[in-house]
């Protein structure tokens, strides 16, 4: 097994917190929830953990490339989702399912990707994939 790179000991306690949050989300009772809502907590923690590592590397420059790569390689962050965040228009993307046309009824992007100013006034949007209420970059 590969030894963790320098800086891992600073990152590990926060990742352990995310691991505990994930366990809590996985064991959360689903009674009273719609079927689609049962995985929203897991998706939310997955997003938060990936965003935390993304911000440490790209925004705050607080971790090395080696540590960033180690985190992605060992499943602590979603490399594909983070690659999308680097592209214009996807900076706030909630999950990859929301940009998969095959996962929607009409072969388009998810409703949460539509900018709020393009929706009818007062309409509350809630994505069926992850519970997102709007992740368009212009919002």
Per-residue pLDDT of the chain (139 residues; tens, 9 = 90+): 689 999 999 999 999 999 999 999 999 999 999 998 999 999 999 999 999 999 999 999 999 999 999 999 999 999 999 999 999 999 999 999 999 888 777 888 888 998 988 988 888 889 989 999 999 988 7
Q: Which residues of 94-126 are buried (b: 16+ CB within 10 A; e: fewer)?
A: bbbbbbeeeebeeeeebbbbbeeeeeeeeeebe
pLDDT reported for residue 80 = 97
* Per-residue pLDDT reduced to its tens digit, 52-78: 999 999 999 999 999 999 999 999 999
- Rounded-to-integer distance, Cα 56 and Cα 37, Å: 30
pLDDT reported for residue 1 = 65
On the CB side of 122, how many CA atoms lie within 13 Å of its CA? 0
CB atoms under 10 Å from CB of 51, counted, come to 17
């Amino acid at each position: 097994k590969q030894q963790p790179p320098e800086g891992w000991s600073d990152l590990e306690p926060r990742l352990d917190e995310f691991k505990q949050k994930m366990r809590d989300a996985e064991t959360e009772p689903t009674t009273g929830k719609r079927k689609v809502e049962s995985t929203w907590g897991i998706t939310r923690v997955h997003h938060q953990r990936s965003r935390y590592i993304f911000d440490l590397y790209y925004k705050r420059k607080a971790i090395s490339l080696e540590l960033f790569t180690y985190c992605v390689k060992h499943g602590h962050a979603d490399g594909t989702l983070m690659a999308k965040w680097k592209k214009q228009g996807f900076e706030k993307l909630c999950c990859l399912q929301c940009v998969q046309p095959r996962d929607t009824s009409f072969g388009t992007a998810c409703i949460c990707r539509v900018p709020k100013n393009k929706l009818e006034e007062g309409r509350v949007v809630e994505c069926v994939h992850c519970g997102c209420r709007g992740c368009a970059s212009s919002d």
